Copies of this chain bind each other. A is one copy, B any other.
């Protein structure tokens, strides 16, 4: 069994260790929820204060031009692109993941007019499937949402399928889909492929180009640390950009927004995916947060992530195996994202008791305890200390108190 000192030694040899100090982390907690809300990067408040005090305050309306506000969805998108294996001009920041899913799902269905099926997983993040339902309903009800149980969806892709819509890393189990293989299966059946990268970008290497993916979306408030509810992003492969339309045809996606033409005329390239006016404050916080990824080796990030999750699984099994935790994440490293989940009948109360002790993970109904290992700031020693805390809690029975069983809004 690995000792605490051995974990500290691993941290000492960690090339990513200096990244931790770039975050302004509160004392006394072990934050294993960066997969839900990334912590505050130290430099973000000053950068945002500058945007407010120097740009909005001083230059007012002129800032749209002189400070590049007008182009921010594209310029911030270009900074996300290398994190997901996309090229310049292929990624646009803005709106929410939900809105972006709607745009791209609608675009995909229009590209495959004869086909009436969207394939997804029953375990996909709910908003992805709810959105597909909404789209189907409002586009005439002729399409079908085909939901696959389990992680293998390729068997459900036939030549009636217009779109395969999947999240690369499952929000509950952390299961990692084979981006290239599933995209290939979709293409071989003549379908288009849409990936939701919300739980992957920034924590593992994503290669949209290598997989020849068509569409992708993602949020930036998890591993990208853009702040609560930060702008989402969308990707459209270069080869598709000028042939696709999307329904949210606002003025910012017009070829000449300030010509105020009578009819909509889509801008070339990724710009036609724009809709309304983006929040510059939210976009600026994200833009600053992305500095952390400048020059960062994502291979290194992935290796550290796997080292953290591997040690967590082993230590949990060694020290807490007798308490009824069932691993709900893949044991196989290549299929495991940057989180580890455990099923436990009392998961809700245990999760809340841990939060009260400063070990912040989260809970997903009905019985999943989820621990995220954001490699930029979580240390090996945090893994050791978290397992120590869990073992103590389970031994003491300290989770079994009324205050931890009370229902509460859970995020």
Binding site for B on A (CB under 8 A): 24, 26, 29, 31, 33, 36-37, 39-40, 44-45, 48-49, 52-53, 56-58, 60-65, 69-70, 95-99, 102, 106, 110, 122, 125-127, 129-131, 133-135, 137-140, 147, 219, 221, 227-232, 245-252, 254, 257-264, 275-283, 285, 355, 360, 362, 364-365, 408-411
Contacts and interface: CB of A to CB of B under 8 A. Distances in A.
25 contacts: A26-B60, A31-B60, A44-B52, A45-B49, A56-B227, A56-B228, A62-B360, A69-B229, A96-B275, A102-B247, A110-B138, A126-B257, A127-B251, A129-B262, A133-B264, A134-B249, A134-B264, A138-B138, A138-B139, A221-B277, A228-B277, A229-B279, A229-B281, A231-B279, A258-B411
Contact of A247 (B39, B44, B138, B252): B138
A409 to B, nearest CB: 5
B99 A275 contact: yes
A229 B96 contact: no
Contacts of A40: 52-53, 56-57
Contacts of A227: 52, 56, 279-281
Contacts of A140: 139-140
A126 B280 contact: no
Given A24-B57, A61-B362, A127-B251, 5 more contacts: A33-B61, A98-B252, A130-B254, A134-B247, A260-B365
A355 B365 CA distance: 57
A382 to B, nearest CB: 14
Given A57-B24, A96-B95, A131-B250, A283 B229 contact: yes
A372 to B, nearest CB: 10
Contacts of A69: 228-229
Contacts of A281: 48, 227-230, 279, 281-282, 285
Contacts of A37: 56, 60-61, 64
A131 B64 contact: no
Contacts of A130: 249-251, 254, 263-264
B139 A228 contact: no
A207 to B, nearest CB: 26
A262 B122 contact: yes
A58 B36 CA distance: 15
Contacts of A127: 250-252, 276
Contacts of A248: 98-99, 102, 131, 134
A347 to B, nearest CB: 14
A46 B112 CA distance: 51
A368 to B, nearest CB: 10
> Which 6 pairs between the two chains have the least Cβ-Cβ distance?
A96-B276, A98-B276, A98-B250, A134-B249, A228-B280, A138-B247
Contacts of A264: 129-130, 133-134
A69 B219 CA distance: 17
B64 A278 contact: no
Contacts of A131: 248-250
Contacts of A102: 247-248
A360 B219 contact: no
Given A247-B134, A248-B102, A219 B60 contact: no
Residue of A69, A99, A228 with highest tally of chain B CB at under 10 A: A228
A110 to B, nearest CB: 7
Nearest to A130: B264
Contacts of A362: 61
A72 B228 CA distance: 12
Contact of A138 (B95, B106, B126, B365): B106
